[in-house]
């Protein structure tokens, strides 16, 4: 620019209340740039020292122009402020922008979170002092332009400390109890009386054989075929003959079969069915006579004649009677034992039912 003045005034087109603070600061910066350019152009021409206004002690606050300053002393220069090259309206706008920027900085909330430290910022305003004017030279001191740039201090964003949020405790489901397999008690097996009936039948067969042999020897003494002197030989001959052992064997088989059928039955069953054992003993006597013949060496007619002659024989009738009576009395023994077995079975069943009602139990160790 060719004009050596402090700078070109900025034309105020709008009222102070309608100008944006940022726009005002931009305009002020442009005015300062124009002032620096003007200062460079005016370096060749300096007005006399007496024409340079001196700063007043009663200057206003920083940033305001010294309007009523006294003239400077000879040989002294006065540093110019940043608003010297501006008009009053621009200066007022500039001051208002600075005040609003300062108020905005103060109103900015402070954060308690840690922030990153920055290097110390350079001073906001750097005052450029014009060189001293020699007294002999009639030059005008160029107004020193103060670079008052409203630099927005960059504040790094506050580093927010992120704390790990504790996850809510999740209640784990309780472990499912492992199933414990307990063997169920088996129902008790009912005990029978058939084996005991067979053993009792052996003793009953011995008793039947003794009675049957005694009856045969007695009948021999009665009919004179056997004497007292030959009684021993007759007994020995009888125990080695078929006619004796066949009825005894038939009686034992019939007694055991009846015991297997009655099992744990009462004695009354033995009494009623002992007649069948007697009939079997009677038939055993007839069969013994056939074996004694023997039947494989005789004809059928001879065998039939032999059987018909023994149907009403005293020894055949005695065999039937002995067979029934022995069955009744030895059957009472078998029935008594059968009753005891029934009681044991009943107690075992009751114990089994109590065990089922109590449920399974875990045995420790």
62 found inside a domain: yes
Task: Please give the backbone phi and psi of residue 148, each rounded to the nearest 5 degrees, phi first.
Answer: -115, 75
Q: How far apart are CA 9 and CA 7, in angstroms?
A: 6
Task: Quote the tokens at residue 73.
Answer: 């002393």
What's the confidence (pLDDT) of residue 92?
76
Q: How far apart are CA 136 and CA 197, in angstroms?
A: 166
166 found inside a domain: no
Say whether both 37 and 143 belong to one domain.
Answer: yes
What's the confidence (pLDDT) of residue 268?
92
Predicted confidence (pLDDT) per residue in 19-71, tens digit: 566 777 788 888 888 877 776 665 544 554 444 444 444 344 444 444 443 33
Q: Of the candidates 274, 280, 247, 278, which has an alpha carbon nearest to the alpha carbon of residue 259?
A: 274
Q: How far apart are CA 123 and CA 16, in angstroms?
A: 28
What's the confidence (pLDDT) of residue 57?
43
Number of domains making up the chain: 2
What's the confidence (pLDDT) of residue 197?
92
CB 356 within 8 A of CB 278: no
* Number of residues in the chain: 365
229 found inside a domain: yes
Range of the domain at 67: 21-104+121-148
Say whether both 138 and 222 belong to one domain.
Answer: no
Residue ranges of the chain whose pLDDT lies below 70: 1-21, 39-87, 89, 104-175, 181-182, 360-365
Say whether both 313 and 207 belong to one domain.
Answer: yes
Cα 8 from chain centroid (whole Å): 87
Say whether both 212 and 320 belong to one domain.
Answer: yes
8 found inside a domain: no
Task: Quote the tokens at residue 202.
Answer: 């052996």
Angle of helix 242-262 versus helix 314-358 axis, rounded to 10: 30
Say whether both 240 and 309 belong to one domain.
Answer: yes
What's the confidence (pLDDT) of residue 303?
86
Maximum distance among all alpha carbons in the chain? 205
What's the confidence (pLDDT) of residue 160?
64
Dihedral angle at the C-alpha atoms of 253, 256, 262, 263, nearest 10 degrees? -160
Query: Is the full-model pTM beyond 0.85?
Result: no
Say whether both 78 and 207 belong to one domain.
Answer: no
């Amino acid at each position: 620019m060719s004009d050596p003045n402090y700078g070109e005034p900025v034309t105020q087109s709008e009222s102070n209340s309608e100008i944006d603070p940022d726009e005002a600061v931009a305009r002020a910066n442009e005015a300062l740039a124009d002032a620096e350019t003007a200062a460079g152009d005016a370096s060749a021409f300096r007005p006399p020292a007496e024409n340079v206004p001196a700063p007043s002690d009663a200057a206003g606050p920083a940033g305001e122009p010294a309007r009523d300053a006294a003239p400077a002393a000879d040989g002294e220069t006065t540093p110019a402020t940043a608003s010297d090259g501006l008009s009053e309206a621009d200066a007022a706008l500039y001051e208002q922008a600075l005040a609003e920027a300062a108020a905005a900085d103060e109103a900015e909330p402070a954060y308690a979170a840690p922030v990153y430290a920055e290097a110390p910022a350079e001073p906001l305003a750097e005052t450029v002092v014009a060189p001293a004017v020699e007294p002999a030279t009639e030059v005008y001191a160029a107004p020193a332009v103060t670079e008052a740039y409203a630099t927005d201090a960059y504040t790094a964003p506050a580093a927010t400390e992120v704390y790990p949020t504790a996850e809510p405790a999740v209640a784990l489901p309780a472990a499912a109890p492992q199933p414990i397999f307990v063997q169920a008690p088996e129902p008790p097996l009912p005990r029978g009386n058939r084996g005991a009936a067979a053993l009792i039948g052996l003793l009953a067969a011995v008793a039947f054989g003794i009675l049957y042999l005694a009856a045969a020897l007695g009948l021999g003494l009665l009919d004179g075929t056997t004497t007292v002197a030959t009684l021993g030989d007759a007994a020995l001959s009888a125990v080695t003959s078929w006619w004796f052992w066949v009825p005894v064997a038939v009686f034992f088989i019939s007694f055991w079969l009846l015991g297997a059928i009655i099992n744990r039955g009462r004695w009354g069953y033995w009494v009623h069915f002992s007649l069948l054992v007697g009939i079997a003993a009677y038939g055993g006597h007839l069969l013994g006579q056939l074996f004694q013949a023997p039947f494989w060496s005789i004809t059928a007619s001879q065998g039939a004649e032999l059987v018909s002659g023994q149907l009403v024989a005293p020894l055949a009738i005695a065999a039937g009677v002995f067979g029934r009576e022995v069955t009744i009395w030895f059957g009472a023994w078998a029935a008594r034992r059968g009753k005891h077995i029934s009681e044991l079975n009943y107690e075992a069943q009751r114990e089994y039912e109590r065990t089922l009602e109590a449920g399974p139990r875990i045995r420790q160790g």
